[in-house]
Amino acid sequence: MGIGTTLRKMFTRPYGTIAAGEVQALLAQRRAVLIDVRERHEWSTGHAPAARHIPLGSLPARLAEIPHDRPVIAVCQSGMRSARAARFLARAGREAYNLRGGMSAWAANGLPVKGGSYR
């Protein structure tokens, strides 16, 4: 393996990114799964109605709960932890995406929020 191939592997993301508006359309068609990787106290401040709550630290142990046959979109507060989750999911064989901007972008786009009083 050459240096170019090694560098590409090191710096290429094994997952995609997706905008909040695109996520809503996929969820409405039941074509994707949304995983919220924030901690419980963050989840309780409000979350996307269709999201499943699996904190980032629990993701490896709960991987079996995540379907293989549908795209998986990870979300956190701003997109940093969900990028880590998406990388993990992609390396575990899932078609994975990071919700760009996280719940902040979700709420800023006026998308529905369940529970709490998220802002």
User: Taking a C-beta distance cutoff of 8 angstroms, is the pair 2, 82 a contact?
Assistant: no
String of DSSP letters for 48-75:
-TT-EE--GGGTTTTGGGS-SSS-EEEE
Cα end-to-end distance, the chain, whole Å: 48
Task: Choose, from 76, 83, 90, 105, the residue flagged as catalytic.
Answer: 76
76 belongs to the catalytic site:
yes
User: Taking a C-beta distance cutoff of 8 angstroms, is the pair 105, 18 a contact?
Assistant: no
Question: What is the H or E stretch that residue 106 is in?
Answer: helix 102-108
Residue 44: phi and psi, rounded to 5, are -70, -15
Residues with a known catalytic role: 76
